[in-house]
Amino acid sequence: MSRCMRPGPITSNGYLNFLREFRKKCCGMSAVETVRQGAKAWNRLSCKQKAKYRQMACKRPRRKKRRSCRPKRRRRSCRPKRRKRRGCRPKRRRRSGCRRKRRPKRRSCRPKRRRRRCGSRRKRCMKPGPVTANAYLNFLRAYRRRHCGLSPQETVKKGARRWCSLAPECKRRYMRQACKMSKSKRKKRSAICRSFRKKRRC
C-alpha cells in the first residue's frame, strides 16, 4: 500500500481545497502528477461544483483558543527565609551598662583653608627654555618668568624692546651666561668673554 500524502489545511482558495480531496483519492501518484491531474480535473468541473470548494472555508468552524482550566499558582512573595544553621560560635559578651563614657574630642583651632575662587587662580608661567650661548635668548628666558600673563608673541615683542633699552652693564650678565655655555673656542677667546671677571648684577 502506498502512503498517502498529508492533506493540507482548508483555505480560502477553492482549487487548493479541491486538490486536498483529490490527493486523498489518488494516493499512488507523486506530488507532481497529483498537481497535473488535479488541474485537469479542476478545469472539467462546473461553476456550481467549484463554488462548493470555495465555500468550504466559510463553513469551517473557527478554532477556539483553549483556555487552561488549571488555577494559576500564586506566587509566594512572603515566604519566610530559611535560617542558616550557625555553628558552635562562642556567645558574645554583653557590654556592661556602667561603661565609662568617652569624652568628646576637642576640635583643633586651626583655621579652615579657604577655597580659591575660579577668578583668583594664578596664571601659569610658560616653561623657561635652557640657558644658551645667545645673550638675548638668556635675557628672554628671565623676562618670561617675570611676565607670566603675556602670550608668546607679546613676550617676544616686549622682550626685544626691553633688551634694546637695557644698559650695557645689565647685558653683561646674560653675555657671561652665553660665554659659559658656548662650545666654540673662538668665542671664549674673544675680548668680551675675557672681560667677565667681576660679577655685576642689574
Q: What pTM was computed for the model?
A: 0.34
Q: Give the pLDDT of the chain (202 residues) as one tens digit per residue.
A: 456 666 667 787 888 888 888 888 877 788 888 888 888 888 888 888 888 888 886 766 555 444 544 556 666 655 666 766 666 666 777 766 666 767 767 665 666 677 666 555 666 666 767 888 888 888 888 888 888 888 888 888 888 898 898 888 888 888 888 887 777 766 666 767 767 655 555 5
| Domain spans in the chain, listed from the N-terminal domain onward | 14-59, 131-194
The three state secondary structure string of the chain is CCCCCCCCCCCCCHHHHHHHHHHHHCCCCCHHHHHHHHHHHHHHCCHHHHHHHHCHHHHCCCCCCCCCCCCCCCCCCCCCCCCCCCCCCCCCCCCCCCCCCCCCCCCCCCCCCCCCCHHHCCCCCCCCCCCCCCHHHHHHHHHHHHCCCCCHHHHHHHHHHHHHHCCHHHHHHHHHHHHHHCCCHHHHCCHHHHCCCCCCCC
